[in-house]
Copies of this chain bind each other. A is one copy, B any other.
Amino acid sequence: VKNRRGEGSRLREDILRGAAELLDQTGQEQAVTLRAVARQIGIAAPSIYGHFPNRESILLATVQQAFAELTEQLQCAQTAAGTDPGARLRAVSAAYLDFARLRPQRYRAMFGGAWDTTGAVRAGAVSYAEAVALGQDALTVIVEAVRACVDAGDSASTDPVGDAVSLWVALHGLAHQRAVIPNFPWPEGIADRLVQRLAQLQWHAAAHEPVMAPGQGEPPTP
């Protein structure tokens, strides 16, 4: 069943959806072959060439779309969390981990598997600036959330950017390891521990009860 005239670009979306499904199902970049994508969405393999010049550009577009979705979900979670900066930062962090938890294989592919920066840059499919910019948008959300905590006096950080990068790196480490070793006995409240310590969140009278991991002691009274 063909798309109607002028609606040919709908197949492009189908191709990206098929590629994402393959990543989620198999967790392997190499499973996303031109022919496998074509099978997944029920078209002939050469039909793809109307929308993508080659296989690598499918992978790149899939990863770009995944990064855009990640950024969007971080922003939505932040907005939904209300106005308290600490709560917003925790919501962003939780959303980051949730994104990876719900699509572990795609997450794994986003960072290093499917999308080899050097390869794509070398092939000219993407500039180096674009390559770095991919993860940058999501990072920016975290940086701004930490900065808001500092501005509100909820964080003791004297280097919001550095601390936000530390937090991002730690969240990534947790998200990635969870994807790779799903059944590892992760300690209770490890995510909150990372947020609390790396963003240097402080007890604040106006804030919610800070989420503390068990055995972490009481927050200092104000």
| Residues 162-191 of chain A, each 1 if its beta carbon lies under 8 Å from chain B, else 0 | 110110111111101101110110111110
Q: CA separation between A4 and B132, bound complex, in Å?
A: 52
A118 to B28, CA, bound (A): 12
B183 near A166: Cβ-Cβ < 8 Å = no
| A162 adjacent to B183 (CB under 8 Å) | no
Interchain CB contact (< 8 A) of A112 among B117, B166, B176, B184: B176
Q: Is A77 an interface residue (CB 8 A)?
A: no
Number of identical monomers bound together in the oligomeric complex: 2
Give A119-143 interface residues, CB cut-off 8 Å to B. Answer: 128, 131-132, 135
Whether A186 lies near B165 (C-beta < 8 A) is yes
* Contact yes or no, A187 B162, CB < 8 A: yes
A197 touches which one: B171, B179, B197 (CB < 8 A)?
A: B197
